[in-house]
Structure 1
Amino acid sequence: MGAISIECLLKSLIVERHNITGWGSNQDGTMHGITNPGHEFIDAIHKLPELRKRIPRNMISYFERLQQPRIHYIDMRYDGVDLDDHSIQEWKEAYIRVRAWLLSQRSSILKGKRA
């Protein structure tokens, strides 16, 4: 669930930044020029130029850890295999760092908001 919350946070930043009001009815991005990044964190980051410019190298590895702790996080719901204790701790650290970083970037991302 943690990775899903990061996905939602990223998508909420994209929606707010680009004033998207009808993503579900406009999946090809024709009205606002932004396509839904799906469940891919790096694709979502690319929808936020201000964020993409400032992302530290180590933060990318944290995003990757969240997205694929063993397999893609969306597929884990069907997998049923638990992570080992070390992997869980690495994942937890990545979650805490990514969430804190995204929240700290929020005001500067929304400052450049489209009209």
Structure 2
Amino acid sequence: KVGKIIIQPQRTNNILEQFFRTLMRTYRKKNGFQAMERALKAMLKDTPLVMNLKNKDFMDILLDGKKSLAQRFADVDAEIVRRQMKKSTVQGTLSSARLKKIVSAPTFPESLTPLMGKKA
């Protein structure tokens, strides 16, 4: 007979910790030992989700039957994205002026396509 099994969750979120370790290491290599406060404040709040793109199950859910992220992004209405970005700007969550300029450009959807490549 097997005794009582106790499942103990991890005390920390290792995925996020690994992400920020990698981010810090890359930033330090690129910019020296400068403080990362500005970089972290300018980062979109969902940036850590990018790490999930390496997870096959997550990608299957995200792609929803499509073959690549480019095909999936083709289904996204650019006007809805612009409205949501404007809404988040009003709420003060979008702080990067450069990002605002990129998103407001009329060619924003087309500029995403080359970044996606052929593979997801």
* TM-score between both structures, scaled by the size of structure 1: 0.25
- Who wins on radius of gyration, i.e. which is larger? 2
TM-score, normalised by the number of residues in structure 2 = 0.24
Structure of greater relative contact order (alpha carbons < 8 Å, 6+ residues apart): 1
